[in-house]
Structure 1
Amino acid sequence: MTHTFSVHVYYEDTDLAGIVYYANYLKFIERARTEWVRDMGVDQVALKQDEGVVFAVRRVEADYLSPAKFDDELTVETRVDAMTGARIVLTQDVKRAEEILFSAVVTIVAITQTGHPARLPAIIRRNLH
């Protein structure tokens, strides 16, 4: 299952050379993960309120392959690589047309509001199996 999310590069996303500032790719993939979870029917505010569970990024391994530029239309593709009881490993690619510009392997963990490990919510486990 691949989830797609569109991103338009604004001037504020770029550096003086008109190239997307490296940290903004992390914002792009974060937005894509938020929409991916929302598209699964998960209300993260309710999840926090009702079950006391939130998601945190545990690890990011990123490769910057080619620059995106001002006014580019990008797509973030999110795929699940692995899942355990408390974590999900994703690959997220940022593309311009079919060219991969940025690729990351992201490990997301479920935690309590106090930062302790938590089991992935049932709705997430059901949607990913």
Structure 2
Amino acid sequence: MTDPNAEQPKHIYSVRVYYEDTDMGGVVYHANYLKFIERARSDYVRGLGNDQNAMRDDGIVWVIRRIEADYLAPARFDDELTIETHFISRSGVRLTMGQLVKRGETEIFRATVTAVCMNAQGKPVRLPAEIRALL
């Protein structure tokens, strides 16, 4: 297991805020931050060599077990956001990542996300060996 306080390499993903991402007040609707960080996590694990389609073919899928989120400042239409994702820890069945959404140098959203793998019957399974080896 990795020390959660140790500095970890960060994966960087960028996203632009479109009109459809905003609410009536002109700020990013709260649930859309979850979409942004999902895209960044998917890009992160893909970059590590995890083929989610192959996993699905084997009857295993990633599911989110827990998200702890802090909304720090609003993002608005046409903002360019950067999502930093880093590995925090893993066990035999869990993978925990930290994610930070920034506008320039301003931190606007922070989350800790725990993911697990499930089989086709909806039962939790151990992380595949190739995933454990990547981290």
**TM-score, normalised to structure 2's length?**
0.90
The aligned residue for residue 49 of structure 1 is: 57
Determine whether 1:110 maps to 2:111.
no
The aligned residue for residue 5 of structure 2 is: none
**TM-score, normalised to structure 1's length?**
0.94
Alignment gaps of 5+ in structure 1:
none
Percent same amino acid at aligned positions?
A: 56
CA distance in 2, matches of 1:8, 1:126: 33
CA distance in 1, matches of 2:45, 2:98: 15
Determine whether 1:90 maps to 2:97.
yes
Residues 68-124 of structure 1: per-residue CA shift (max 9 Å, x gap): 000000011111111000101111111111211000111101111211111112222
Determine whether 1:19 maps to 2:37.
no
The amino acid across from 1:108 in the alignment is: A
Structure 1 residues 41-80: aligned runs within 5 Å: 41-50=49-58, 52-80=59-87
Moved over 6 A (4+): none
CA distance in 1, matches of 2:124, 2:61: 10
The aligned residue for residue 127 of structure 2 is: 120
Instruction: Give the number of aligned pairs.
Output: 127
Report the secondary structure of 1:23's partner residue: helix
Alignment gaps of 5+ in structure 2:
1-8
Let me know the Cα RMSD of the aligned residues.
1.0
The amino acid across from 2:91 in the alignment is: T
The amino acid across from 2:74 in the alignment is: P
